[in-house]
Structure 1
Amino acid sequence: MEQLNQHLSQTLKQLRNERQWSLTQAAELTGVSKAMLGQIERGESSPTVATLWKIATGFNVAFSVFLGGAAGSPPPGVQRYADLPVFSQDTADMRVVPLFPFDNLLGFDMFVIDLAPGAVSESSAHEPGVIEHVIVIEGELELMVDGVWHQLAAGEALRFQADRPHSYRNTSQHNVRLHDLIHYPPAVR
């Protein structure tokens, strides 16, 4: 986790420097407090998945940029799940692994996401035009889009415009595992 915090710190600093944004500007554009952004930059805090999404959206970058991916088009090859970076919240309610980090040419990331029993993750709206494809692999997921909760069992999927708030929750007593493929429009790339 310490290595991931260091990467988050360096990435956030780099993005702010590239844009020449103050912490105050970054806070205004991401919706994340100046204090929290400062703690992340100093490696003193591990943000939640929802907070990291807000930061990625505010900076107009793919989520996997913060997980060590998104360096361009990855070379073809086998992805070994055990070798991939993991982002896990302190509460261990949600675990995110970039199965295929952001591909600039194709404009997508693909994640494996695990939600523990009782976990809820609220996602703020992504950039206009962002589309998510959620495929449940194990368990039963509740996914809210446009104020409507959808029940998805293993083998079921939902595609939706992710440029609006949406939420994921696991109300069961078992883990939920899903794939989340996120397509970004050319403006976000």
Structure 2
Amino acid sequence: MENLTYFLAATLKRLRQQRGWSLSQLAAATGVSKAMLGQIERGESSPTVATLWKIATGLNVPFSTFISPPEAEHPPTYDPQQQAMVVTPLFPWDPELRFDHLSILLAPGALSQSTPHEVGVVEHVVVISGELEMRLDDRWRRLKAGEGVRFAGDRPHAYRNASGQTTHFHSLIHYPHS
């Protein structure tokens, strides 16, 4: 976990400096406070999945940029009592194919609201086990194991597990060419 925290801190700082941005500019672009961004860059704070989504969206980079260190560690352990959501990349980011393929565990009762991705992003969600409720265009839709949905990811959407069991789903996110 320490290596992942260091990787996240170094990646965030590198991306910010590549753009020539101050922490204030990064905060304005991501909607994450300057104080929190500074703590992440110094390795003093482990951001939530929702915060990482905001940062990735604000920087216009794939989500997996922050969670796929070159020398991948053991898969994260998951304790639904401690973590509402765990995201694990299934395939590394491929700049030619331009997609993230993520495996996501959502704890019972958990809700994750996603800020819109960049214009043109298309997301595919397939439930592996359990049930997932998704909010798209202010309407909730229930998906069971084996069911999926494809949608424009450039609008607000949310994931909710209203059941008493952990929900496991995959998210394949296609990013448009700039």
Q: Please report the TM-score for the alignment, with normalisation by the length of structure 1.
A: 0.88
Residue 164 of structure 1 aligns to a residue whose secondary structure is coil
1:62-81 to structure 2, matched below 5 A, reads: 62-68=62-68
Is structure 2 residue 158 aligned with structure 1 residue 167?
yes
Shift of residue 93, structure 1, vs aligned partner: 1.1
Residue 177 of structure 2 aligns to a residue whose secondary structure is coil
Report if the CA contact (8 A) 2:68-2:89 is conserved.
Answer: no
Q: Deviations over 1:122-162 (max 9, x none)?
A: 11011111111000000000011111111000000000111
Shift of residue 92, structure 1, vs aligned partner: 1.1
Residue 118 of structure 2 aligns to a residue whose secondary structure is coil
For 1:112, the equivalent position in structure 2 comes to 103
Residue 40 of structure 1 aligns to a residue whose secondary structure is helix
Residue 29 of structure 2 aligns to a residue whose secondary structure is helix
Give the Cα separation in 2 of the matches to 1:97 and 1:176: 14
Q: Which has the larger displacement, 38-47 or 83-92?
A: 83-92
**156, 167, 173: which one pairs with 1:176?**
167
- For 1:155, give the aligned amino acid: G
For 1:56, the equivalent position in structure 2 comes to 56
For 1:142, the equivalent position in structure 2 comes to 133
For 2:45, the equivalent position in structure 1 comes to 45
RMSD: 2.0
Shift of residue 83, structure 1, vs aligned partner: 6.0
CA pair 159-84 structure 1, distance change in 2 beyond 3 A: farther
Q: Which runs of 5+ in 2 are unaligned?
A: none
The ranges of structure 1 where at least 4 consecutive aligned residues each deviate by more than 2 angstroms after the TM superposition are 82-91
Is structure 2 residue 148 aligned with structure 1 residue 157?
yes
Shift of residue 85, structure 1, vs aligned partner: 4.8
Give the Cα separation in 2 of the matches to 1:101 and 1:9: 19
Report if the CA contact (8 A) 2:116-2:154 is conserved.
Answer: yes
Give the Cα separation in 1 of the matches to 2:98 and 2:151: 16
For 1:97, the equivalent position in structure 2 comes to 88
Identity of aligned residues (%): 59
Residue 51 of structure 1 aligns to a residue whose secondary structure is helix
Shift of residue 91, structure 1, vs aligned partner: 3.3
Give the Cα separation in 2 of the matches to 1:166 and 1:125: 7
Q: Which runs of 5+ in 1 are unaligned?
A: 72-81
Q: Please report the TM-score for the alignment, with normalisation by the length of structure 2.
A: 0.93
